Amino acid sequence: MLLVRLPCGDLDDVRRVLEENLGSKWGWVVYRITYGDDAEWERFMNHLNTRVRLELEAEGNGDLFSRIDWAVQDDLKLEDASIRKVREHLRRWVEQDGGENDLGTARFHACVVVGQDELESVLEDGPPAEEVDVDGMGWVTVVSLNEEEGDTAVGLSYLTRAYALSECPGWHTIAVGDGDVYCR
């Protein structure tokens, strides 16, 4: 997985939307599709929150962390769900919970899926949450609501960047094929 960092303020659009809509939240909807160990899931969520908080702080955007809401979809009916099933569930979530809250943000156009492979990649293969995972060894799957756009693996350390890039320039900036993710 190749990831290129850009020296741009790509969270500016996220900040603008949050400032114009004071009650709004941001962040991907997270789909839990593995249910083998609740303690392991808790460790994953702590890792995710720590990594994202530190990434935001390092970029001078630490204040945005308090506005994140992962809207975790935690339902045993989702165990080992296919990408298609997750996409259908996300579509219903957007219709029910999005509605007037859909500000055109990435939150309503894609989601994060965490199965056992993703969980293990973050907790076992990737570095501790306090370290930037430059190589994307710890990753999650990001699924576009648009079936034609598909899904792609995104290194956990690059999740906020992928969110911002998919919100503004569009999905094509993070999903370019062959399982690689580029931030153009």
Using CB atoms within 10 Å of the CB of residue 168, give its burial: 0 to 12 exposed, 13 to 18 middle, 19+ buried.
Answer: middle
Taking Cα atoms as reference points, which of 16, 45, 19 lies closest to residue 30? 45
Q: Is there a domain that residue 102 lies in?
A: yes
Domain membership of residue 63 (yes or no) is yes
Give the integer Cα–Cα distance in Å for 50 and 174. Answer: 23
pLDDT at position 99, please? Answer: 54
Q: Residue 75 falls within a domain, yes or no?
A: yes
* pTM as predicted: 0.86
In a domain, 91, yes or no: yes
Answer whether residue 4 is part of any domain.
no
User: What is the domain count for the chain?
Assistant: 1
In a domain, 110, yes or no: yes
Residue 43 is assigned to a structural domain of this protein: yes
Alpha-carbon gap, residue 53 to 50, rounded angstroms: 5
Mean pLDDT of the chain: 84
pLDDT higher than 60, residue 168:
no
With tokens 């960047």, the residue in question is: 161
Domain assignment present for residue 143? The answer is: yes
Domain with 167, as residue range(s), is 12-173
